[in-house]
Chains A and B, each alone.
Chain A
Amino acid sequence: KQEVTQIPAALSVPEGENLVLNCSFTDSAIYNLQWFRQDPGKGLTSLLLIQSSQREQTSGRLNASLDKSSGRSTLYIAASQPGDSATYLCAVRPNYGQNFVFGPGTRLSVLP
């Protein structure tokens, strides 16, 4: 059974810092991996989608990498801003089935 973990569970940084969020998964047989952002009381917003054949994806200040063989992904946020404060969820889509398997999330606070 696929299991996804995220480290750290919570992170607090001053504005302007670069930071890395980590995601690990137990079964490397994945179709793709996606990073989401969740704001309190709101749904999930897709940030980056990495297909299993890709190594990384970039969007603005965000960069996500994927090492499928080792079961790891990282989300790099450059020059963090208070508006980046949210919970960041990593989700993998196994080769079987249609649904995502989510990690527990990392709660990020960026202090002004």
Chain B
Amino acid sequence: GAGVSQSPRYKVAKRGQDVALRCDPISGHVSLFWYQQALGQGPEFLTYFQNEAQLDKSGLPSDRFFAERPEGSVSTLKIQRTQQEDSAVYLCASSLEAGRAYEQYFGPGTRLTVT
């Protein structure tokens, strides 16, 4: 079956521009996660949704970062007024149910480069 998909796969933005990154989770998956992976580092947690509810946004680095999942399926991560330090790969993951026992399935990521 189809896995987690993300678009665009690559995005180049000039400093100060706004960007929107899309995640299509596996159909029917309740939980959705966003992670940020800087070059040479492991992914770091940004935010977590259970259906349409954003239950944890403790990892968002600033108020320029905003995520939504209005219908409990597709999610969008928006970054306003991008800065060079926002350059990273943004990974989305989904899991079938809420709860730590369930495996997370990761998408291929969106590589954002801010020039």
- Smallest Cβ distance from A75 to chain B, in angstroms? 14
A residues sitting closer than 8 Å to B (CB atoms) are: 4, 31-32, 34, 36, 41-46, 49, 51, 89, 91, 93, 97-105
On whether the beta carbons of B56 and A102 are closer than 8 Å, the reply is: no
- Smallest Cβ distance from B96 to chain A, in angstroms? 13
On whether the beta carbons of B98 and A98 are closer than 8 Å, the reply is: yes
The size class of the interface chain B forms with chain A is 20 to 34
Chain A interface mostly helix, strand, loop or mixed? strand
Interface residues of B in 69-115 (CB under 8 A from A): 91, 93, 98-101, 103-109, 111
- Smallest Cβ distance from B42 to chain A, in angstroms? 3
Q: How far is the CA of A23 from the CA of B10 in the complex (A)?
A: 31
Contact of A99 among B40, B48, B98, B107 (CB under 8 A): B48
